[in-house]
Structure 1
Amino acid sequence: QLLAKAAIRGDFDEVRRLATSGLVKARDELNRTIIMLTADTDWTPPQTGKCIEYFLNLGAEPQAVELSSGDTAAHVAARRDHLRVLALLPFRAKWQVNESSRTPLMEAAKSGCWRCAKHLLHLLRQAKFVRVSRGGRGGGRDGSRGRVELLKMQDGSGRTAQDLATDSGHFELARIIERERRLVVSINGTGSIKGLSSTEMDMRDHLEQLIESSNWPGLLEVANRVNCDLPDRDGWTPAMRAFKSAACPTAVLQRLADLADVSCSNVWGVSCLHRAASAGAPPSSLAILLDRGAPVNAVDEDNRTPLMLLATTGMTSAEATLAARSLLSGGADWDNSSSCLAQVTPLRLAVEARNHELVALLLPYQHKKFFEESLKMNCCRDSLRCLAAELLGRQRAWQLTAAGRLPAVLIEFVSQHVAGCYGCSVCLNDESDS
């Protein structure tokens, strides 16, 4: 119980002090594992993600079941709409059935937990997951048999996830599930998603036009939970396009985060966070994604995390450094301890890209192990570094230039002194910039 409470708080130092390989596999008096206990709440801070990754690294069993119900941690998370925990569990653990023959998707549909339901549905837009069908049986060359089998699974009473959502009165979620069942995801060649109706394609294009023209009031008026995740052939959604825009106001992004799947990825596993970080989105945008549960160490088809992809971009050093700080404060893995690419680190990629400021930021981590270090959560509002980070973020949000309202010497000063602020929520979430 103490370990679970520390993880729910995001207190990684306490988690590291208490956790052992034996404890993370142990059960409480109700036969629940540590991941089940952590999942059994509706929200946790971004730092909880590192705690879950640490449990898994120590040998926690994500597919372990509670004996009386057959529930796994994924079932518990889905019923609580706890996206942060669900997103970090392995794919196969997300499709196990319990004693009622229900998958986590069915439990989310029955409970109306749209965040977790969307996450599970949108996993099946990714090529690496549509290749996998239930029980390990492969589908056809386009992988569609795996998708169809998973989305049409029935519980003990013969009801699908769509049926459960409808029977429970969650009609909006039932529409979303019905649409995903229509989609066909091809993994041949460049990959593609097909199956939207003409009306849905028109709505997706309309939302994209509103974003491209920076018509934010129009976007807020039209966007809803059903249409903001409509994919194009590559899997990009209107919400993903908005989050990569440096011009999109924080209030609009916060509203979209309450409608869209912040964990959504395209066909090749490039997530909303990957794209926002590598496109130079302001730290406030990244903070919103992380706050809502986007996994900071998600990997694409090439096993690149958002921090790794950021290190390879041609973004200016100041922008890359600000984005990297936001990712690090949210638990980004700098040595790939949580992945299979320990030799290809963000630091190495930044060196190869000649991104000198990002190299300077990451160099102190060179000989430090991810699971042996605290998260950089403390930041003093009154410090010079913190104020510099805030000012530089506002310059980009306001789209000011040296020729505009901020002189070049001040921009240079801010860029030099921003090192050391790890993007605390106070700095990056300030709503006073109007």
Structure 2
Amino acid sequence: LVIEADFSQLLLKATTELMTKTDAAERTVLMLVADAHETPVQTEKCIWFLFKLGADPKATDRSGNTAAHLAARRDNLRDGATPLMEAARAGSWKCTKHLLHLLRQLRFNECSTHGNSKRSRLLGLKDHRGRTASDLARLNDHSELANYIELEMRLVFDCNGSITGLDFVESWLKDMKKLIEDENYSALVQKVNRFNCDLPNSQGNTFSMMFIYVAQPQQRSNPDTTNLNQETFLKKLLQVCDPTCANTYGMSALHIAAYKGNSAAATALLNAGARANVMCLEWTPLMQAACCTQQDAAASVCWILLCAGSNWSLKNREGKTALDLATEQGSHKMAELLRSRSDEFYPVTNPQGLCVIINISKFESSSEGERKGSQFDVERVSELFSKLGFIIDVREDLTADEIENYLDCVRIWKELERHGAFVCFLMTHGREDCIVGSDGKPCKIFDLTRKFQPKLCSSLAGKPKIFFVQACRGLEKDELLVKRETIDNAGGRFEGTSVLYPSNSDFLIFYATPRGQVAFRDENTGSYFIQTVCELIEKYYQTEDLMSIMVRVNKRMAKKPYRDGDQYFHVVGEITGHPTRKISLDPSRACD
């Protein structure tokens, strides 16, 4: 799933326990992904999720490989080798360049503290046989790559991040800039190669960065030919250069493409392996796009970055998002695009939120019958909402006072601040406007839900608060006269609660049945309403919002009457509340 970048299914199936499990070669999931031949752009988000679940990048397989070693090369490990050594020995220009170029950035080489010493030490590391990365490259007939590593080792960083050691690069880049401005792509093809395309000037800028900055598509007498030549050259360039390379401050080619509004370059870079959320002084490419002076170009690049997994909710050092910047810059089309992303749905977080399940199956009073089969509802809800990224907390057979006290504790739980939603399942008997505790005493629905109003629970202010009530709301049954063979359903029991129309926004309450009627439950399969809800959420959570799914629930229940013995009954749920946005349960929408 990670290799295929199927983030939605990954969230449903990946668990913390799986992160430590290994195959016959003692390789973890992270190692298997690292050893994959190719992965799409969206795999980055999946890998970050593995880390959040506890994947250990330092874990080793039976041969001593870490995930980094496996990513750097795809053959056997030699004792004491670093990932750079493995990439060099395997002749992997792509991995070797990426690892070398990371050490050009201030945040990795720490030159302000260590000068050039840390970087020099790391590049000069030797394996157990005393061989450096360049030695291993040369020993395995990769002499050109060995020369590149040695040239990289000649670079010297001062405490301000300025680079010396390759003085010829400045004049060479100046010559190449003239060719770019003249659109002399045939000459560029002859002069630019994998050895020189990523060499840095004093600030760490390379030819590929300069090309994307200078070679904007122009309106010429024959624009189609001009654009084609530029894009063709860029395609050739990305076959040999490092698409992740950045200057000393972390400014990458993708940042530049976004700033210049070059959608063709942004697409090519992302397809070549550039990261959509790469940071430069806490600025993402999406933030750079917001500063593009051409509105149409900015919106185009914005769309491309969002499709590649760009996180529109990230903030820079001033606490501003890409939307804030686009609004300030007057980039209205981009701002509208971002606003539609942020305003149409409530934000989805990781974890999505807390899912509380209060199930009362046994009662102190003999007048309240045991709710047999309710354990199937608890199991189904727990399994589904856990896979959807919710933290599950199950409470069984609480008294009325215990229900009140428990929800009071929940509403002041500090962790709610980092959650995007709150879900509560109330499953018990009910009467009129209340549910019943295990002691037979009533709890009014309104009293329970208002605990989470903003003035009492500020952590959930502006966030969806969703209640599912599986309980009767009266004694009536909507009997249906139909032929028995036309309905496919099992027998069941019924239960009982109330109706509530909360005045506060962001509340949603889904009742198993309309006011005055019973709610049905089967001893062998669970409640008709809860099981249907779980089935359709699981089927449609990726493509539809929660309200749309619940309409499907009602439609299903209306078309498929419930059988109780020899009789059939219409059962339709009721929805109340005032959400201000759509609610998505798709964990792949998570912004963090």
Normalised TM-score (structure 1) = 0.72
State the Cα distance separating 1:342 from its structure 2 match. Answer: 11
Give 1:30's aligned residue.
25
| Residues 79-118 of structure 1: pairs in structure 2 closer than 5 A | 79-80=73-74, 100-118=79-97
* Maintained 8 Å contact 2:261/2:292: no
Give 1:193's aligned residue.
163
Alpha-carbon distance between aligned partners in 2 of 1:53 and 1:170, rounded to the nearest angstrom: 33
Give 1:49's aligned residue.
44
Change beyond 3 A, Cα 1:14–1:23: same
Please state if 1:231 is matched with 2:226.
no
What letter is aligned with 2:165? G
Alpha-carbon distance between aligned partners in 2 of 1:193 and 1:64, rounded to the nearest angstrom: 35
3-state DSSP of counterpart to 1:207: helix
Give 1:280's aligned residue.
261
State the Cα distance separating 1:201 from its structure 2 match. Answer: 4.5
Give 2:530's aligned residue.
none
Give 1:124's aligned residue.
103
3-state DSSP of counterpart to 1:7: coil
Give 1:78's match in structure 2, choosing from 50, 64, 72. 72
Alpha-carbon distance between aligned partners in 1 of 2:45 and 2:89, rounded to the nearest angstrom: 29
Alpha-carbon distance between aligned partners in 2 of 1:268 and 1:79, rounded to the nearest angstrom: 28
* Maintained 8 Å contact 2:212/2:265: yes
Percent identical pairs in the alignment equals 40
Alpha-carbon distance between aligned partners in 1 of 2:334 and 2:95, rounded to the nearest angstrom: 34
* Maintained 8 Å contact 1:333/1:370: no
State the Cα distance separating 1:129 from its structure 2 match. Answer: 1.0
Please state if 1:352 is matched with 2:331.
no
Change beyond 3 A, Cα 1:352–1:201: closer
* Maintained 8 Å contact 2:69/2:83: yes
* Maintained 8 Å contact 2:41/2:273: yes
3-state DSSP of counterpart to 1:177: helix
Give 2:277's match in structure 1, choosing from 294, 297, 312. 297
State the Cα distance separating 1:369 from its structure 2 match. Answer: 2.9
Gaps of 5+ in 1: 1-5, 82-97, 132-138, 379-434
3-state DSSP of counterpart to 2:73: helix
State the Cα distance separating 1:220 from its structure 2 match. Answer: 0.7
Q: Report the number of matched residues.
A: 338
Change beyond 3 A, Cα 1:72–1:239: same
* Maintained 8 Å contact 1:127/1:187: no
Post-superposition Cα deviations, 1:341-391, rounded to whole Å, max 9, x if no partner, equal 795422233233332211111113323237679xxx99xxxxxxxxxxxxx
* Maintained 8 Å contact 1:142/1:185: no
Larger Rg: 2
Change beyond 3 A, Cα 1:340–1:29: farther
Give 1:364's match in structure 2, choosing from 340, 343, 349. 340
What letter is aligned with 1:232? N
Alpha-carbon distance between aligned partners in 1 of 2:317 and 2:313, rounded to the nearest angstrom: 9
Give 1:13's match in structure 2, choosing from 8, 13, 16. 8
Alpha-carbon distance between aligned partners in 1 of 2:83 and 2:194, rounded to the nearest angstrom: 20
Give 2:371's aligned residue.
none
Give 2:442's aligned residue.
none
Give 2:295's aligned residue.
317
Alpha-carbon distance between aligned partners in 2 of 1:30 and 1:222, rounded to the nearest angstrom: 45
More deviation, 249-258/355-364? 355-364
3-state DSSP of counterpart to 1:266: coil
Task: Give the CA RMSD over aligned residues.
Answer: 2.5
What letter is aligned with 1:8? I
State the Cα distance separating 1:231 from its structure 2 match. Answer: 1.0
Please state if 1:172 is matched with 2:144.
yes
Q: Which has the higher helix share?
A: 1
Change beyond 3 A, Cα 1:181–1:212: same
Gaps of 5+ in 2: 218-226, 353-387, 389-541, 544-592
Alpha-carbon distance between aligned partners in 2 of 1:329 and 1:347, rounded to the nearest angstrom: 16
Give 1:69's aligned residue.
63
Alpha-carbon distance between aligned partners in 1 of 2:254 and 2:301, rounded to the nearest angstrom: 11
Post-superposition Cα deviations, 1:141-181, rounded to whole Å, max 9, x if no partner, equal 45200111001000111000010111111111111101110
Give 2:178's match in structure 1, choosing from 172, 194, 209. 209
Post-superposition Cα deviations, 1:188-207, rounded to whole Å, max 9, x if no partner, equal 2xx31110153x54433332
Alpha-carbon distance between aligned partners in 2 of 1:369 and 1:151, rounded to the nearest angstrom: 42
Alpha-carbon distance between aligned partners in 2 of 1:78 and 1:370, rounded to the nearest angstrom: 32
* Maintained 8 Å contact 2:162/2:203: yes
3-state DSSP of counterpart to 1:71: coil
Give 1:414's aligned residue.
none
State the Cα distance separating 1:305 from its structure 2 match. Answer: 1.4
* Maintained 8 Å contact 2:245/2:253: yes
* Maintained 8 Å contact 1:79/1:111: yes
* Maintained 8 Å contact 2:283/2:316: no
3-state DSSP of counterpart to 1:14: helix
What letter is aligned with 1:351? T
* Maintained 8 Å contact 2:276/2:305: yes
* Maintained 8 Å contact 2:258/2:292: no
* Maintained 8 Å contact 1:204/1:231: no
* Maintained 8 Å contact 1:235/1:266: yes
* Maintained 8 Å contact 2:116/2:157: yes
What letter is aligned with 1:322? S
Alpha-carbon distance between aligned partners in 1 of 2:155 and 2:273, rounded to the nearest angstrom: 25
* Maintained 8 Å contact 1:335/1:346: yes
Alpha-carbon distance between aligned partners in 2 of 1:59 and 1:340, rounded to the nearest angstrom: 27
Please state if 1:39 is matched with 2:34.
yes
Post-superposition Cα deviations, 1:8-37, rounded to whole Å, max 9, x if no partner, equal 112222212212233234333322122211
* Maintained 8 Å contact 1:211/1:241: no
Alpha-carbon distance between aligned partners in 2 of 1:13 and 1:319, rounded to the nearest angstrom: 30
Alpha-carbon distance between aligned partners in 2 of 1:117 and 1:99, rounded to the nearest angstrom: 17
Normalised TM-score (structure 2) = 0.54
* Maintained 8 Å contact 1:204/1:230: no
Change beyond 3 A, Cα 1:250–1:37: same
State the Cα distance separating 1:270 from its structure 2 match. Answer: 0.7
